[in-house]
Amino acid sequence: MCSFTVPPAVLQLFLLLFLASPATACTEQEKRNLLQFLAGLSSDGGLATSWCNNGADCCEWEGISCNGDGAVTGVSLESKGLEGPISPFLTNLTSLLHINLSHNSLSGGLPAELMFSRSIIVLDVSFSRLNGPLPELPSLVTTDRPLQVLNISSNQFGSEFPSATWKVMKNLIALNTSNNSFSGHIPSSLCVSSPSLALLDLSYNQLSGDIPNTLGNCSKLKVLKAGNNHLSGILPVEIFHATSLEYLSFPNNGGLQGELDGAHIVKLSSLLILDLGGNSFSGAIPESIGQLRRLEELHLGSNNMSGELPSTMSNCTNLKTIDLKINNLTGDLGKQFDCTAVVSQPFPW
Domains and CATH numbers, the chain: 72-344 (3.80.10.10)
SS3 category, 86: coil
Strand partners, 183: 160, 206
Q: What are the residues whose beta carbons fall under 8 Å from the beta carbon of 322, sequence distance 6 or more?
A: 297, 298, 333, 337, 342, 343, 344, 345
Of 188, 202, 196, nearest in space to 121 by CA: 196
With beta carbons less than 8 A apart as the criterion, state whether 152 and 177 touch: yes
pLDDT of residue 267: 95
Q: How far apart are CA 14 and CA 247, in angstroms?
A: 40
Of 230, 232, 200, nearest in space to 215 by CA: 200
Of 63, 124, 125, 74, nearest in space to 98 by CA: 74
pLDDT of residue 22: 44
| 52 burial via Cβ count (<10 Å: 0-12, 13-18, 19+) | exposed
Of 333, 324, 331, 332, nearest in space to 305 by CA: 324
Of 153, 318, 339, 147, nearest in space to 246 by CA: 318
Q: Give the DSSP H or E segment for 106.
A: strand 105-106
pTM over 0.85: yes
With beta carbons less than 8 A apart as the criterion, state whether 304 and 259 touch: no
- Tell me the pLDDT of the chain (349 aa) as tens digits: 334 344 554 445 434 444 444 457 888 999 999 999 999 999 999 999 999 888 889 999 999 999 999 999 999 999 999 999 999 999 999 999 999 999 999 999 999 999 999 999 999 999 999 999 999 988 888 899 999 999 999 999 999 999 999 999 999 999 999 999 999 999 998 988 899 999 999 999 999 999 999 999 999 999 999 999 999 999 999 999 999 999 999 999 989 999 999 999 999 999 999 999 999 999 999 999 999 999 999 999 999 999 999 999 999 999 999 999 999 999 877 666 554 333 344 433 3
